[in-house]
Amino acid sequence: MKILRRYVLKEHIGPFIFGLAIITFVLVMEFILEILNLIITRGLSAFTILEVFVLNLAWMLALSIPMAVLVATLMAFGRLSADNEILALKANGVSLYKLVLPVIITSILLAIGMIFFNNSVLPEANHKARLLMTDINQKRPTLNIKEGVFMTDIPGYYILIKKVDPKSSDIEGITIYEQKDRYFPRTIIAEKGKIEFSSDRNTLILTLHKGEVHEMDEAQLGQYRRLTFDKQILFFPDIGSQLVRSSSDFRTDREMSAGMMKKEVDKIKPEISSQEKKLKEITKASINSVLLPGSATSTQTSPEQVIISSFKRQQDLLREIQTIHFNLKDTKNRINSLLVEIHKKYSIPVACLVFVLLGAPLGIMAKRGGMVIALSLSLGFFILYWAFLIAGEELADRQIISAFWAMWSANFLIGTAGLLLFIKTYKEAKFISWDWLEKIVPKRLRKYILP
């Protein structure tokens, strides 16, 4: 029996690696297309490019491994069934349950490993990837200068240059909108100038000639200043051509483990009860101010003044209620978002087991000439699974369904379908009737398409 278990598992290794490579390659190609322009314009070293790829490979593996399990199970059992090995094993008293059991156990161990991966490796990789991409985005903004296009790489500044000489770094037709630490932007216009780095390659120096400065006096609104200059030099520090690594303790949802997010949820929950209590108190005060406007009983106060005062009071209370309601909704959305990420770290790994229950009977179906149908069904289940995850996350964020059902409904639905299909296959019962296809498929093609 041990030989049989090893043989069945060995049949899954090749297809698993094949499926993992293909699916990861598809994800990598999509990722490369997104950052290719960023990498080229920033002039990154080969080591940095490799680091970006390795760090982002973590989330790709978290998605591609469950998919590869379905591909491996489908192809392995399809091959065993096509060569009549499953039929021979059944004739020798080996049931389908015993044949699939080692694969199920392996998928459970793989799911446990992925849970550890999702809570230990993946958050750290996502965190480092985000910091690295932030540092890359702040590197060498001058290389992104395009004629007639606003440059937004320098925080607080929008720079438009009409003509750039790449050899001499001379520029013409410069317009700068300076928004940094200002409510009204200051506009700087110059006919020509020069752009260069300091000797330490860390400060960008912009020398402008024959220009004007337009700005609004924020101390005295309505006052407008227009200054002219023959030469003006602007310095932009910390804009070096070297990639400077930064660190940060801040983490997003996908950069935290399940334990860290649970602590965050426990920290936020008391805010909800506090905000709800305050909302009730303000609502009660608003009702009392309408029913009992007795505070304004002075004989010198006219009825019109009482009505105006009461109306203003109601407006203030209404604005306060709206603010608390918005904060309450925002807090609940934050908790739901954390809970979704917590359940996602466990539901996606469990999909390895779900896809084994689904892939084994689908693979056996392929033996009967229905490879096209089996592959189509597996692709359909792929799409269905991820559609449930995406839709569930959206519904959970809108507080329509709980985070649990948002992330686990796909496993329950597809797992139940796979289990029923597995039982039907074990009993050699006809799970789906394809008689209606016989009417539309030509006879010469039926043996290749129909099971």
What are the average pLDDT values for consecutive 10-residue runs of the chain, which has 451 residues? 86 89 85 68 72 89 90 86 82 85 94 95 92 73 67 82 80 88 82 80 82 79 80 78 65 89 89 80 70 52 66 74 80 87 94 91 66 62 85 85 91 90 75 55 57 53
Give the C-alpha separation, 337 to 389, whole Å: 13
202, 258: one domain: no
Residue 411 confidence (pLDDT): 93
108, 175: one domain: no
129, 150: one domain: no
116, 225: one domain: no
Residue 331 confidence (pLDDT): 83
Q: With b meaning 16 or more CB within 10 Å and e meaning fewer, what string describes 397-413?
A: eeeeebbebbbbbbbee
Give the CB-side neighbour count of residue 38, counting CA atoms within 13 A: 17
305, 369: one domain: no
Instruction: Assess if residue 211 is contained within a domain.
Output: yes
Residue 262 confidence (pLDDT): 93
Q: How many domains, in total, are found in the chain?
A: 3
Q: Are 348 and 412 in contact (CB under 8 A)?
A: no
Q: Looking at 326, 352, 382, which one is the last position of a domain?
A: 326
Give the C-alpha separation, 126 to 187, whole Å: 39
Residue 166 confidence (pLDDT): 67
Start-to-end C-alpha separation, the chain: 30
Residue 141 confidence (pLDDT): 46
Residue 53 confidence (pLDDT): 86
Instruction: Assess if residue 338 is contained within a domain.
Output: no
Residue 445 confidence (pLDDT): 58
288, 386: one domain: no
232, 264: one domain: no
Reference 149, options 139, 140, 159; nearest CA is 159
Residue with tokens 């591909």, as numbered in its chain? 71
Give the C-alpha separation, 154 to 137, whole Å: 10
Longest distance between any two alpha carbons in the chain, whole Å: 106
Question: Which residues constitute the domain of residue 23?
Answer: 2-138+343-449
Give the C-alpha separation, 93 to 384, whole Å: 36
Q: Are 106 and 359 in contact (CB under 8 A)?
A: no
Q: Are 378 and 359 in contact (CB under 8 A)?
A: yes
Q: Looking at 277, 297, 326, which one is the last position of a domain?
A: 326
The 3-state DSSP class for residue 296 equals coil
The 3-state DSSP class for residue 402 equals coil
273, 357: one domain: no
379, 410: one domain: yes
Reference 288, options 314, 320, 316; nearest CA is 314
Listed in sequence order, the residues at least 6 apart from 52 whose beta carbon sits closer than 8 Å to its beta carbon are 35, 39, 44, 129, 132, 133, 136
Q: Is the pTM of this model over 0.85?
A: no
Reference 69, options 433, 357, 376; nearest CA is 357
SS3 content of the chain, % helix, strand, coil (to 5): 65, 10, 20
